[in-house]
Amino acid sequence: SDISSPVSNLAAIDAAHHLHPFNDMKKLNENGVRVMQRAEGVHIWDSTGKKYLDAFAGLWCVNVGYGRTSIAKAAFEQMQELPYYNTFFGTTTPPATLLAQKVTSKAGPHMNHVFFTNSGSEATDTWFRLARVYWKALGHSTKTQIIARKNGYHGSTVAGASLGGMKYMHEQGNLPIEGIHHINQPYWFGDGGDLSPAAFGLKIAQELESKILELGADNVAAFVAEPIQGAGGVIVPPETYWPEIVRICKQHNILLVSDEVICGFGRLGSWFGYQHFGFEPDMAPIAKGLSSGYLPIGGVLVSDRVAEVLINEVGDFNHGYTYSGHPVCSAAALENIRIIEEEGLVERVRDDIGPYMAQALGTLKDHDRVGEVVSVGLIGAVQLTTDKASRRRFAKPDDAGAAVRNQCVTNGVIVRATGDRMLFSPPLIISRSEVDQAVETLGKALDWLKDHYHA
């Protein structure tokens, strides 16, 4: 098939050849694929010319917005100069080294090393192995078990999907692999019952301590959690949660891994989510906002505690990828971070547009079909409910969420729905009027839900 064929043909070609992630291919091919063609700022156009406000920044990742020619230029120039070389055989390239310096300069005084990967999933697999290597080097070779959370998301590699807490992923491929255990998530709206959020936060955090004692602290290597669970539905933990998690990890001597793939690079109004919540993890996977999605790149921030052992005790860490520290991806990420710095986007999220979005989303709180509204920096969620007082959910949460999402997309605003939670994660450059447009469109979709959806 001639790839220059007119765009209208693409749907047929796509149906014939392209297997999509997380899609029912039969349904997709019946509905036909939407071809996204170009983008600028916070807007994206499909091949029919329809314009959308992308309030989800692609997949949580286009932090600096679309159309940044300086990133394209940085990649182009690097590609001309040196399109690829590896970092395996005692070699590096300038962008890889400079990016390592730049990223760790934002990560706080205790984080001075980074291991590069191509994605968040590969970052997950990296810290998963490194955690065990660390304890073995210290003579604690029984400390191999990893604790994670139900409804957490850490990627789609075998370890990533196993560490994630999504049942529908475990069922495909006989997961989780051994050595991985899940505790509950701090989702007060769904699981808090009559407890106050503060009491619930402590209770759920203390499940970590029970799990550690059940497994035996001498067998537990690490606990992994997203500061705020993204794909799980923007689950913001109660205030009491993180301090208790930190206490437990310290007391039982297990590594704390903060998954920053979504919460990193300004999303919460700080460079990394752990800074917003005031703790210092031992390792932190990163990706998405690292390059704003312009090119695939990820990594693991490694604290001095772990790096010191890795460097001085381990010898060869037999792990890594062909494209670890890819020079073109690193050059794009460097320019991306320079934009975030130069335009003060982290501070803008913390002091201006983040509070603005929280206030704008808050206007939906009183809607009959809204159970709760949460918003931190530029990540937010509107929880749907059939009855506010009892916090009753829809019989088919996924359907309700998809119906509301479709209303928004039809009206030109792209949001995400996880179950019956409507999620916002716009580019950090979004303007106040664009926030208003997104919130108004969601408000209209909620009215539609109330009038037309009774499942």
Ligand X SMILES: Cc1ncc(COP(=O)(O)O)c(CNc2cccc(C(=O)O)c2)c1O
Residue 354, interface with ligand X (CB under 6 A)?
no
Q: 259, 282, 420, 434: which one contacts ligand X (CB under 6 A)? A: 259
In the complex with ligand X, the residue whose CB is nearer, 155 or 176, is: 155
**Contact string (CB under 6 A) for ligand X, positions 210-229, x = contact:** ----------------x---
- Report the nearest approach of ligand X to the CB of residue 425 (Å): 9
The CB-nearest residue to ligand X is 120
Which residue lies nearer to ligand X by CB, 348 or 405?
A: 405
| Residue whose entry in the numeric block shows the structure tokens 């959910």 | 393
Per CB under 6 A, does 261 bind ligand X? yes
Structure tokens at 232: 């799980």
Q: How far is the CB of 339 from ligand X (least distance, A)?
A: 20
Residues in the chain: 455
- Spell out where 126-252 has E strands: 145-149, 180-183, 220-225
Distance of closest approach, residue 190 Cβ to ligand X, in angstroms? 18
Q: What is the DSSP letter of 288?
A: G
Q: Does residue 306 bind ligand X (CB under 6 A)? A: no
Structural contact between residues 124 and 157, judged by C-beta atoms closer than 8 angstroms = yes
Pairing of strands 416-418, 421-424: antiparallel
Nearest residue to 72 via CA among 345, 292, 375: 292
Shortest Cβ 56–ligand X spacing (Å):
8
Q: Which of 122, 164, 93 is nearest to 287 (CA)?
A: 122
Minimum distance, C-beta of residue 368 to ligand X, in the bound complex (Å)? 27
Shorter beta-carbon distance to ligand X: residue 226 or 420: 226
Structure tokens at 35: 């071809």
Q: How far is the CB of 59 from ligand X (least distance, A)?
A: 5
Using the rule CB under 6 A, which residue among 58, 95, 108, 155 binds ligand X? 155
Other Cβ atoms closer than 10 A to 364: 17
- Which residue lies nearer to ligand X by CB, 127 or 134? 127
Please report whether residue 154 would count as binding ligand X according to CB under 6 A.
yes
Segment near ligand X (CB under 6 A), from 1-9, 114-122, 141-149, 300-308?
A: 114-122
CA-wise closest residue to 7 among 28, 31, 30, 38: 38
Measured between alpha carbons, how far is 65 from 293 in angstroms, rounded to an integer?
Answer: 10
Q: Which of 287, 376 has the CB closer to ligand X? A: 287
d(CA 46, CA 146): 42
Ranges within 406-425 binding ligand X (CB under 6 A): 416
Quick check: 59 binds ligand X (CB under 6 A)? yes
Enter the tokens of residue 140.
Answer: 């604690």
* Nearest by Cα to 425 from 148, 53, 69, 123: 53
Task: In whole angstroms, give the CA distance from residue 36 to residue 45.
Answer: 6
Interface with ligand X (CB under 6 A), residue from 186, 230, 269, 427:
230
Binding site for ligand X (CB under 6 A): 59, 119-121, 124, 153-155, 226, 230-231, 259, 261-262, 287, 298, 416
